[in-house]
Amino acid sequence: MSLFRLTFLGTSAAQPTIHRNLSGIAVKADTDLLLFDCGEGSQRQMIRFGTGFSVDAVFFTHFHADHYLGIIGFIRTLGMGGRTAPLVLHGPPPAKRLLRQAVHLGVDALPFQLDIVELQHGAAVRRQGYTVGAIRVDHRVSALAYVLQEDDRPGRFNVERARALFVREGPDFGRLQRGESVTATTGQIVRPSDVLAAPRRGRRIVISGDTRPCPTVIAAARDADLLIHESTFSDEEQARAEETRHSTAREAGRVAREAGARRLILTHLSSRYDPDPSKLLEQAKEEYSGPVEVAHDGMTVELPLRE
């Protein structure tokens, strides 16, 4: 897998503002297109920011209205567009009950198969070249964070070393790179570990969803390439953050620091920080010394491969 690109479709908490739509992140993982949450208005954001509609799977963090009502209209648009490919919607319970109601609103039958899968803490959905893991977080309702974990890539192939060991050039080079042993022209067995460097770690992205600072997120974000953490409030509303089971920007910064995440992006901002979220950024920076940004609608992030 080479491409890992995220597009923020919406970055506002609870209600949309002039500049910010409700929650949604589109992730392009090579040919796969995933959605994480689908707040009202997400489909128009997908048009604005050019993500395309060929979504392969949707993952809901939880079922507060600002995170999922957009699926109703989006499904209808896909139906009108003549989609035939199946679509899978994932989420914590009660995904089945709520999404079934949502997607069957209306009178038209859908022309494609739609499956709803409930995920529990620890579940992992296997995709081509990566997995999407679900972890429980601490919100007012049953809620999940998601961990996108790319498979490790084999270490670099040392051509000089292979030649020095008299490996036949051509197919035998490929076999070694795929993890098979081969017999050299000398009759000696050459193992992959003789000619391959240590495996290269796959990239990891953690999407917190709505949550209080949470040990499961800290564990999952350890050394992650990117932590996307909700940041609904600033210090002034610490009590409100605790009461509503959300995080402040400072707390998001602390989670990133404790996890040793390589990069932090804050999203899910209360409308009072639109259009100026600088206070959130400052407070997160007081806790976390790595690169930190506040997401905006249309913001695109491409993660480089790990060396």
Which residues are near Zn ion by CB under 5 A?
Answer: 64, 66, 210
**Shortest distance in whole angstroms from residue 14 CB to Zn ion:** 6
Closest CB to Zn ion among residues 39, 133:
39
- Nearest 5 degrees, angle CA 234-CA 257-CA 13? 35
Q: Which residue out of 32, 37, 66, 172 is catalytically annotated?
A: 66
Query: Helix 278-285 and helix 249-259: axis angle, to 10°?
Result: 40
Tell me the C-alpha distance between 283 and 264, whole Å. Answer: 13
For the sheet containing 204-207, what is the strand order? Answer: 124-127, 130-136, 144-150, 204-207, 226-230, 264-267, 292-294
User: Which residues, at least 6 apart from 193, have a Cβ–Cβ distance to it below 8 Å?
Assistant: none
Burial of 186 per CB tally in 10 Å (0-12, 13-18, 19+)? exposed
Catalytic site includes residue 30: no
Q: Could you tell me how far CA 43 lies from the centroid of its own chain?
A: 18
